[in-house]
Amino acid sequence: MARHPRSRLLCVLAVLALLAGLLAAIPAPPARAEVEHPRQKWMRDSTAGLFLHWGMFTSPRHLDCATWEKDVTGGGWSPDYWVDEARKLGASYIVLATFHSRLGYARPWPSAIPGSCSTKRDLLGELVKAGQAKGVRVLLYMTDDPQWHNETGTETLDSAAYSAYKGEQVDLTTRPGFGEYSYDLFFEVMDRYPDLAGFWIDNDNEYWESHHLYEQIRQKRPSWLLSNNNEDTPIMDTVSNEQKVGMTPAYDYPQAAWTPMPRLVEADYKLPTTGDWWYDGSDHSVDFRLSTGRYITNAGSSMKSLMAETPMVNGKFPPSQEKFNDFMAGWVPPIKSSLQGLEGGGYMYGGMQPGFWNDGAHGVVTVDRGGAKTQYVHVVTRPRTDHVRLRDDNYRVTRVTDLRTGKAMHFTQSGGYLSILDVTAWDDYDTVFKVDTAGQGLYYSGVKASASASRTGFPAADLTDGDFSNYWDSNAQLPVSMTFDLGARRPATTLAVNQREWSPTYARTSFGRPEDSARIKDYRVRASDDGRAWRQVRSGAMASARGVRLIDLGLQYTRYLKLEVLNLWGGPQAPAFLNQLKVDEVKVGYGYQRSFGRPLPLEAEAHGNVLSHGARRTLCTACSGNLHVVGGELTYRDVNAPSDGDYRLQADTTSAKATPLRVTVNGGEPTTLTVPAGSADAPDSTALAVHLKAGANTVKLSGPGIDRISVSPVPTDLPRTTMTVEPYGVQWVGTGRQTLKVKATLRLDTDDQLDGVELAPKVPDGWTLDGASVKADSLRLGQTITGTWTVTSPDPVAATKIPVNATYRTLGRPQTTTRNLDVRPRPADRTFMREAEDSANAPGSTGLTGCGPCSGGEKVRNIGGDPTAAVTFPNVTTDRAGQHTLYIDYTVNGTRSYQVSVNGGPPATVTVTDSGNSTPRTTSLPVTLQSGANTIKIYNDAEAAPDLDRISLD
């Protein structure tokens, strides 16, 4: 948990095939993913678990097992305390991590197997018994890794004692020896504690795999769960996602998940927002907003919140954690019915669309796995207005109530949205609305699907079979299209697209593995009556977001619809996700649910508005209220603001072509901005900043069709962007005058707008810049701006960071995004030097990770164990043919080897040894190079190699 060792992705099926002849005596069936099994039911019905890292090295650190046990007991340790605290959190299970590499490999039971700390008091047995009495199950954490055996300078693994016990020499500090030792412990635990709920296993050990450990656990304890950290190991029941960060909003943990339903998934995170995974002597704070948000969004994505707390030596939690537990004990019960035993809505179990809603609102939906007639809308971030508006996915809503208060809420439905109105009481962390429905309708059945490309075994027919266990795969081909045959010419209004939830929603590096979204970005929709002549009815960008995505088509009469996918969000830095489109289901809608209650505020067709200069109300099926105003001028006479100030005005407009939108407030100077081409009968949104006075204001609009407007305070957060600069990584150059080509790209990642965008490097004094800044009037969702320049240094060149700046406005506010190009002169004794993370290299399936002491602050890890896990350095240049010394800067823990091949020649083996894997070291070998460009490949097909910082030549 607190360590991040390299996890070996070894296929259990392949291991069984290789070892079947040697291990035929073990009657174990082949491993396969048991995605759903009756033994999992109790965890599927749960909302959360409590993860406890606690052991001999809990502060104050003990180096003697007996002294630690004495202080545990003398301090008043009680298993009931842990069980009661878990219940406060709404947790159904506890994972106990004492046999942990950073906690002294402590075993909280009187073990008959020597080798590491073991207590005389049966703490594990007491905890299991206490949990049984109160309905809380216990899983035992087991680690695969001996690398921290002497972290404190004191040896915690007793190889001599274990060797005497086994009657053979076994070195517990090696992976095979530790694997054998821990293998024996698994069986001891299974024999002693039949009421344990299972094992939570931190990565794999080769000894376990080669000896069919998991298969034997299945046979011996078929009701136990097996959980695995950060890997989707087929035989395991759960996949646990550890400590994911970087998403927007910060609490939406599922954005980093990469395992689709119905796989049983945990979100494993710390409640203390700083410090180690275990108690380090400090009372670290708990962020209530972050922690409750994770709790709710995980539940709304069918993920279990495995919350890590840090018990002290006596088992008690520090005050900040106890305070949070006490809060949860009162906060969860009133909304328990919306969390426990339910599934995430908007996915395979049905339900309305989760994610970002109106006016800054964000939340999730929970539904019963047997059907989505009753749904719970969890508003985790409240809107800046008094109503919530979300896509209803064609569920007909009959009643809405506030779950905490029981109050019946006003609501309205039209244009594909449910709006819950007049909300005056907001919970600080999660306002929950119970939404009763008459079920889902207005989608065709029997639609036939075809595609321009498919991977064998994943046909286009799976797009419309109603079964989320089947999906279509585009076979890495883009652009690609999906065609839907309605059987006859019929009305069509919507495409509801559920993409495979197998990738995070944003680019990230997790445990050294590059990840990115494999979701649709730019798309087009065409319609045809005969399958030959096609007309475009919609185009745009789809947000990289989880859950069902809905495309409004206007009202089309057609037999065929074709969804053309032009590109995906993922970039080349994450090759495993690049162009890998997978889609679970696509439904074709032929209408929208409609209620006749209170209308949504600020509808264009409202009778209090003034229509002039030919403006008229006309039918618009996809619009709010099913009407919009086209032509002439539309004037709102009563747009209210609570106080003088700037506000965000959103206009939902209809227009088949790019059209100027003219907005005038209180008779002042008009503001004009361009609404991009969309649809004449399906609205899109455009926002601008306006100044309003307290009370009633007059707002006049003209240009495109107007569906409605909304007014809210200007948001404090900014639209999310992605900016890349190439070359990436420190650029090591000679000492004379140097010239470098620079390329930069800015992308808008949210459904918002940037105006007045300008992109350019800013060179320091003495440098020159060739090339002008690039500009764009505006950027919308998914759009990019790219520029290339040449920068030239003075002579001599000095270490310099060249900022590349993107400036823009959002709602009138100026903003700047900056990325630096880092240039440094090479050491005098090097003729070539390049970082492993440099964008010029081909990284294969390896990944980046931070490394403070490393050159450039990063290194490449996950090298080796697979032919694709290699780093290839092209264009390694020298002006002298012949023998050179190649220097390799690396980090390693233990003994590992590289294979080094030059220009495709036979590899040389380089073996290195060190401890800790955090301090860069240098090794060297002779290589023969040709004059000019050379290619150097660093790899190890057979096993894990050291991490790589950079290479250089003499």
Segment 583-605 shows an average pLDDT of 94
Segment 115-133 shows an average pLDDT of 98
Q: Cβ distance 94 to 127 under 8 Å?
A: yes
Segment 120-149 shows an average pLDDT of 96
In this prediction, residue 229 has a pLDDT band, given cuts at 50, 70 and 90, of confident
Is the pLDDT at 763 greater than 70? The verdict is yes
Nearest of 573, 319, 592 to residue 441 by alpha carbon? 592
Segment 444-461 shows an average pLDDT of 98
pLDDT one-digit tens code per residue, 42-81: 999 999 999 999 999 999 999 999 999 999 999 999 999 9
The structure tokens listed for 856 are 């450039």
Q: What angle do CA 654, 660, 666 make, to 5 degrees?
A: 95
CATH superfamily to which 721-825 belongs:
Immunoglobulins (2.60.40.10)
Residues 6+ apart with CB under 8 A from 739: 790, 791, 792, 793
**Overall residue count recorded for the chain in this entry:** 954
Options 3.40.50.720, 2.60.120.260, 3.10.20.30, 3.90.340.10; which CATH number does 832-953 get?
2.60.120.260
List strand residue ranges (DSSP E) for 500-571, in order. 508-510, 513-515, 522-528, 535-541, 549-565
Residues 6+ apart with CB under 8 A from 342: 299, 366, 367, 368, 369, 376
777 CB burial (10 A radius; 0-12, 13-18, 19+): exposed
| C-alpha to C-alpha distance for 83 and 571, rounded to whole angstroms | 45
In this prediction, residue 117 has a pLDDT band, given cuts at 50, 70 and 90, of very high
pLDDT at 104: 96
The helices-and-strands tally (H runs, E runs) of the chain is 11, 55
CATH superfamily to which 342-440 belongs:
Golgi alpha-mannosidase II (2.60.40.1180)
Residues 6+ apart with CB under 8 A from 333: none
Q: Domain map of the chain by residue range?
A: 51-291+312-322, 342-440, 448-589, 610-713, 721-825, 832-953
Is the pLDDT at 11 greater than 50? The verdict is no
Nearest of 582, 584, 536, 585 to residue 558 by alpha carbon? 536
User: 692: which strand partners?
Assistant: 645
Q: Angle, nearest 10°, between helix axes 319-331 and 79-88?
A: 50
| C-alpha to C-alpha distance for 206 and 212, rounded to whole angstroms | 10
Segment 567-571 shows an average pLDDT of 96
In this prediction, residue 434 has a pLDDT band, given cuts at 50, 70 and 90, of very high
| C-alpha to C-alpha distance for 256 and 434, rounded to whole angstroms | 27
pLDDT one-digit tens code per residue, 925-934: 999 999 999 9
| C-alpha to C-alpha distance for 95 and 227, rounded to whole angstroms | 10
Segment 824-852 shows an average pLDDT of 93
Report the SS3 class of residue 161: helix
**What are the CA-CA distances from residue 478 to residues 454, 522, 776 (Å)?**
11, 11, 27
For the chain, how are helix, strand and coil distributed in percent, rounded to 5?
A: 15, 40, 45
pLDDT at 752: 92
| C-alpha to C-alpha distance for 311 and 589, rounded to whole angstroms | 53
In this prediction, residue 549 has a pLDDT band, given cuts at 50, 70 and 90, of very high
Segment 207-233 shows an average pLDDT of 93
pLDDT at 3: 39
The Cβ of residue 248 has, within 10 Å, a number of other Cβ atoms equal to 17
| C-alpha to C-alpha distance for 621 and 607, rounded to whole angstroms | 19
pLDDT at 234: 85
Residues 6+ apart with CB under 8 A from 532: none
In this prediction, residue 33 has a pLDDT band, given cuts at 50, 70 and 90, of low
Mean pLDDT of the chain: 94
Is the pLDDT at 802 greater than 80? The verdict is yes
**What are the CA-CA distances from residue 843 to residues 230, 512, 530, 862, 939 (Å)?**
21, 12, 47, 10, 10
The structure tokens listed for 154 are 């004191």
Is the pLDDT at 13 greater than 60? The verdict is no
Options 2.60.120.260, 3.50.50.60, 3.30.160.20, 3.40.605.10; which CATH number does 448-589 get?
2.60.120.260
The Cβ of residue 9 has, within 10 Å, a number of other Cβ atoms equal to 15
CATH superfamily to which 610-713 belongs:
Galactose-binding domain-like (2.60.120.260)
| C-alpha to C-alpha distance for 732 and 802, rounded to whole angstroms | 14
Q: Which residue has the tokens 């049905």?
A: 350
Cis peptide leading into 660, omega within 30 of 0?
Answer: no
Of 694-698, 845-849, 909-913, 920-924, where does mean pLDDT reach its minimum? 845-849
Q: Cβ distance 147 to 101 under 8 Å?
A: yes
428 CB burial (10 A radius; 0-12, 13-18, 19+): exposed
Asked, colleague to colleague, whether 342-440 and 721-825 share their fold, the answer is yes
Please give the DSSP secondary-structure letter assigned to residue 945.
-
Q: What are phi and psi of 574, to 5 degrees?
A: -125, 75
Element (H, E) at 768: strand 768-770
pLDDT at 153: 86
Please give the DSSP secondary-structure letter assigned to residue 864.
B
Fold classified for 51-291+312-322: TIM Barrel (3.20.20)
Sheet holding 754-761, edge to edge: 731-733, 813-825, 800-810, 754-761, 774-779
Is the pLDDT at 745 greater than 80? The verdict is yes
Is the pLDDT at 604 greater than 80? The verdict is yes
pLDDT at 917: 84
pLDDT at 12: 34
In this prediction, residue 717 has a pLDDT band, given cuts at 50, 70 and 90, of confident
The structure tokens listed for 911 are 């073996």
| C-alpha to C-alpha distance for 473 and 581, rounded to whole angstroms | 6
| C-alpha to C-alpha distance for 301 and 366, rounded to whole angstroms | 8
In this prediction, residue 19 has a pLDDT band, given cuts at 50, 70 and 90, of very low
Is the pLDDT at 233 greater than 90? The verdict is no
pLDDT one-digit tens code per residue, 768-801: 999 999 999 999 999 999 999 999 999 999 999 9
